[in-house]
Structure 1
Amino acid sequence: MRTWNVAKGHGTENDFVILLDRHGMASPSPTDVRLLCDRRTGLGGDGLLRVVSAGQIPEWAGDPKVWFMDYRNADGSVSEMCGNGVRVFARYLVEEGLANGPDIPVGTRAGLKRVTMQRDGQVRVDMGQVLVDDEPTQVSLGGVTMTATKVDVGNPHAVAFVEDVAPLDLTRAPEFDAERYPDGVNVEFVEVVAPGHVRMRVFERGVGETRSCGTGTVAVAAAARRAFGGDDWRVDVPGGTLHIEVESTPDGGIERALMTGPAVVHIRGDVQVLDEQ
């Protein structure tokens, strides 16, 4: 039996179990992650955020003293980045006295992310460079094939524009081009509401449909900018609203994207985890 210090938080209702593991002693297995994230037998969450010193992460080549967000999907698989998760992660660091703010560096598998705690309670993340592929791809849902835009936000996305996101059945995973996405993909379906304003639903790899996806909103803003122009986007998700600002390069690319939205940590305690047999 292991006792772990945990918390739970969410960003636009994309929810996470947070595991404090300062010195890398916990090392949760995929089975542990699935147990903690199970909504019936565990704490419930779309993923797990392990709070660990970056020096404990072998593949990390940056400052070993920063805090590293070791993100796992609910199925136990490792993911490169989580936009809502990094906001919740930073909120947790501040509330636990592990960081002072307002500017907080966070290590991720997609590189160092700089997070700013704003006076209005919102949290802004410099998501860095966003890569939009010139070659379209395709996704299929319910037997309907759609053209999609491939976007890299440190993790893979396929963005498809549709007339109305409400009737889509996301109880089953969309199909996608496995050659273009060998590690799987987050698929966003997007409805244009007005200039600079879109609505989206998302099927996240390793999870299923979630109430929000932070990196997904950045991917959507990047794809919308490519399709319609504009550097400021309001992205509505089932769990709320995120604002994405895009800074362009001289050649029209995306130098960086800034994501702003809420982050809440609302449950704290200890959990006992059975040793695997």
Structure 2
Amino acid sequence: MRRFTFLKGQATLNDFIVIEDHHGMQDLSPSFVQQLCDRRGGIGADGLLRVVRAQHVKDWQGDPELWFMDYRNSDGSVAEMCGNGLRLFARHLMNEQLVPSGRFSVATRAGVKEVRIARGGLISVDVGRPRTSPEPVTVNHGGSEWEATVVDVGNPHAVAFVDASELSALDLSRQPTWSPEATFPDGANVEFVHETEPGRISMRVHERGSGETMSCGTGVVAAAAAYQQRTGHSGQVVVTVPGGELTVDVEGAHAWLTGPAVIHMRGEYWA
């Protein structure tokens, strides 16, 4: 029987299992990750974060001594980035004194990301400058369709702007589709956004590999980027998601995502 220690936490109610595997010894097969993330048969989470030294990650070419955020969706698939996951990963590194200060770097499949502890214990992470595409995509869901903005935040997003009534009525237990299909050959996160007032938006999201979640950090950044492109707004964007509130600040080539992240528990899992 397999036994190991895990931690559990959340960042704006986007919840994750954290597994320490500093030397890359754990075999995290897709089926095992699915089992862990199952909310009835396992621990239950939107995804899993493996804490490992970068030197033990296949194909990593950067600094071998960095901590690497090895992120898996709840369906067992590997993802390039996760903004909320990165904040929780950083919280864990701070809690366990695995980093020497409140400013440090974390390796991810989307490159090296900078972290800094912000006001009131909030955590800010630099997810890089989101890249919007001039070519729109059409998102289809529930018999309706919207023209959406394609945004790359190290992972793929489609951001559709909807009315307030549409936002609340969406059934995101089903995955939205898009056309042309070739725009996202490996799937995408789809954000539905409504402007509540200048500089403030509300958002719901269907995440690739996880379904609807209470929050999506990279999705928040993608939504803010699409909002700025759509409206010309150049300042901070406050984004309300079902799990809470996050802010996005663009500083040159850097988009900083700021919000809470909390570790709630530590336990043992037997499988």
TM-score normalised by structure 2 residue count = 0.96
Aligned ranges 1:227-242 → 2 under 5 Å: 227-231=230-234, 232-242=236-246
Letter in 2 for 1:192: E
Between the aligned partners of 2:117 and 2:270, the Cα distance in structure 1 is 32
Number of the residue aligned with 1:216: 219
- Please report how far the alpha carbon of residue 210 of structure 1 lies from its aligned counterpart in structure 2 after TM superposition: 0.2
Letter in 1 for 2:215: S
Number of the residue aligned with 1:265: 263
Between the aligned partners of 2:65 and 2:187, the Cα distance in structure 1 is 31
Q: Which ranges of structure 2 fall in alignment gaps of 5 or more residues? A: none
Q: Is the 8 A contact 1:222 1:246 kept in 2?
A: no
1:173 aligns with 2:175: yes
Between the aligned partners of 2:268 and 2:156, the Cα distance in structure 1 is 34
Letter in 1 for 2:63: D
Identity in percent: 53
Number of the residue aligned with 1:132: 132
Letter in 2 for 1:182: P
- Please report how far the alpha carbon of residue 240 of structure 1 lies from its aligned counterpart in structure 2 after TM superposition: 0.1
- Please report how far the alpha carbon of residue 176 of structure 1 lies from its aligned counterpart in structure 2 after TM superposition: 1.4
Decide which moves more: 127-136 or 151-160.
127-136
For 2:183, what is the secondary structure of its paired residue? coil
CA-to-aligned-CA distance 1:216-261 (integer Å, 9 cap, x gap)? 000000000000022310000000000001235xxxxxx2211100
Q: Which protein is richer in helix relative to its size?
A: 2
Q: Which runs of 4+ in 1 moved over 4 A?
A: none
The one of 180, 199, 208 equivalent to 1:196 is: 199
Letter in 1 for 2:108: T
Aligned ranges 1:92-171 → 2 under 5 Å: 92-164=92-164, 165-171=167-173
Number of the residue aligned with 1:251: none
Between the aligned partners of 2:130 and 2:173, the Cα distance in structure 1 is 29
For 2:114, what is the secondary structure of its paired residue? strand
1:17 aligns with 2:17: yes
Between the aligned partners of 2:75 and 2:22, the Cα distance in structure 1 is 23
Q: Is the 8 A contact 1:122 1:262 kept in 2?
A: yes
- Please report how far the alpha carbon of residue 115 of structure 1 lies from its aligned counterpart in structure 2 after TM superposition: 0.7
Letter in 2 for 1:161: F
For 2:151, what is the secondary structure of its paired residue? strand
Between the aligned partners of 1:11 and 1:180, the Cα distance in structure 2 is 29
Q: Is the 8 A contact 1:101 1:117 kept in 2?
A: no
1:243 aligns with 2:247: yes
Decide which moves more: 162-171 or 185-194.
162-171
Between the aligned partners of 2:23 and 2:246, the Cα distance in structure 1 is 33
Q: What is the root-mean-square deviation in Å for CA atoms of aligned residues?
A: 0.9
- Please report how far the alpha carbon of residue 119 of structure 1 lies from its aligned counterpart in structure 2 after TM superposition: 4.6
Between the aligned partners of 1:110 and 1:43, the Cα distance in structure 2 is 27
For 1:88, what is the secondary structure of its paired residue? helix
Count of matched residue positions in the alignment of Structure 1 and Structure 2: 267
Q: Which ranges of structure 1 fall in alignment gaps of 5 or more residues? A: 249-254
- Please report how far the alpha carbon of residue 209 of structure 1 lies from its aligned counterpart in structure 2 after TM superposition: 0.3
- Please report how far the alpha carbon of residue 101 of structure 1 lies from its aligned counterpart in structure 2 after TM superposition: 2.4
- Please report how far the alpha carbon of residue 144 of structure 1 lies from its aligned counterpart in structure 2 after TM superposition: 0.8
